[in-house]
């Protein structure tokens, strides 16, 4: 196993970066929905008054949020967050303008939901149930194992109604993402 790269205190090896419209609104959104902590000393404004850099801590992770410049393309973020209560997280997100695209669904013993925030970023929200706390672990190891094969197997070999719904809601959600600056 390679030696992990040194990182600054409070950072992880991988830290997502959102370039979004109205970064201040998304910062407030993330603070309210995920109980994130703003790192005020990291907030940097560009000469045009837009947020150039901000840092938010969610649990043991950090995300950086900045304003998208007027001539920059729409680049939605795709983020996965583990939470204690999926339903309460969704309720907070919806109250602040999010759109649920995947309702809470069993996913290999965990609970998965997705929403699109007001700036068009897609969030995966999970509640993890440790394997020893669930009776529904059959097939979990097999579904993710590779058994040494060089070719990828089509996921439909282990599908279920829940997985079909999760897949279809993702396909529809991605297809519906639009630049918030463009007319709908």
* CA distance linking residue 64 with residue 55, whole number of Å: 5
List pLDDT tens digits, range 112-131.
Answer: 999 999 999 999 999 998 87
Q: State the alpha helices, DSSP H only, in the chain.
A: 23-34, 86-95, 140-144, 161-176
Tell me: do 45 and 28 sit in the same domain.
yes
Last residue of a domain, one of 72, 87, 109: 72
**The pLDDT of residue 138 is above 50:** no
Report the pLDDT value the prediction gives residue 133, as an integer from 0 to 100: 61
State the distance between the two ends of the chain, measured CA to CA, in whole angstroms: 48
Tell me: do 45 and 81 sit in the same domain.
no
Determine the Cα angle at 181 with ends 177 and 182, to 5°: 70
Q: What is the value of pTM for the model shown?
A: 0.85
Of 76 and 137, more confident: 76
Range of the domain at 68: 9-72
Report the pLDDT value the prediction gives residue 20, as an integer from 0 to 100: 95
In a domain, 140, yes or no: no
Tell me: do 81 and 119 sit in the same domain.
yes
**The pLDDT of residue 38 is above 80:** yes
List pLDDT tens digits, range 54-100.
Answer: 999 999 999 999 999 999 999 999 999 999 999 999 999 999 999 99
* Overall average pLDDT of the 157-177 stretch: 92
Tell me: do 49 and 99 sit in the same domain.
no
In a domain, 102, yes or no: yes
In a domain, 3, yes or no: no
* CA distance linking residue 148 with residue 142, whole number of Å: 12
Phi, psi of 166 (to 5 degrees): -60, -45
Tell which residue, 62, 66, 59, 53, has the closest CA to residue 26: 66
- CATH number assigned to the domain comprising residue 33: 3.30.720.120
Report the pLDDT value the prediction gives residue 154, as an integer from 0 to 100: 77
Asked whether the beta carbons of 114 and 100 are under 8 A apart, the reply is yes
Tell me: do 31 and 97 sit in the same domain.
no
In a domain, 139, yes or no: no
Of 183 and 10, more confident: 183
Question: From edge to edge, which strands make up the β-sheet containing 17-20?
Answer: 17-20, 61-67, 55-58, 37-38
Radius of gyration of the chain (CA): 18
Tell me: do 84 and 47 sit in the same domain.
no
In a domain, 118, yes or no: yes
Of 45 and 156, more confident: 45
Task: Report the 10 Å Cβ neighbour count for 115.
Answer: 21
- Express the helix, strand and coil content of the chain in percent, nearest 5 each: 30, 25, 45
Domain count, the chain: 2
Determine the Cα angle at 71 with ends 38 and 41, to 5°: 20
- CATH number assigned to the domain comprising residue 183: 3.30.720.110
Q: How confident is the model at residue 184 (pLDDT cuts 50, 70, 90)?
A: confident
The mean predicted confidence, pLDDT, of the chain is: 88
In a domain, 63, yes or no: yes
Of 1 and 141, more confident: 1
Report the pLDDT value the prediction gives residue 152, as an integer from 0 to 100: 63
Tell me: do 44 and 90 sit in the same domain.
no
């Amino acid at each position: 196993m390679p030696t992990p790269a040194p990182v600054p205190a409070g950072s992880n090896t991988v830290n997502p970066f959102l370039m979004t419209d109205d970064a201040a609104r998304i910062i407030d959104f993330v603070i309210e929905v995920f109980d994130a902590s703003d790192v005020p000393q990291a907030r940097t404004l560009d000469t045009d008054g837009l947020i150039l850099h901000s840092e938010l801590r969610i649990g043991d992770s950090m995300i950086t949020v900045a304003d998208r410049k007027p001539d920059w393309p729409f680049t939605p973020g795709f983020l996965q967050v583990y939470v204690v209560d999926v339903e309460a997280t969704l309720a907070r997100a919806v109250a602040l303008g999010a759109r649920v695209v995947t309702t809470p669904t069993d996913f290999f013993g965990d609970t998965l939901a997705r929403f699109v925030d007001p700036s068009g970023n897609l969030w995966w929200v999970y509640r993890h149930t440790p394997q020893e706390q669930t009776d529904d672990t059959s097939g979990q190891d097999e579904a993710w194992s590779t058994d040494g094969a060089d070719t990828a197997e089509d996921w439909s070999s282990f599908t279920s109604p829940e997985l079909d719904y999760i897949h279809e809601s993702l396909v529809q959600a991605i297809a519906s993402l639009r630049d918030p600056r463009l007319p709908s």
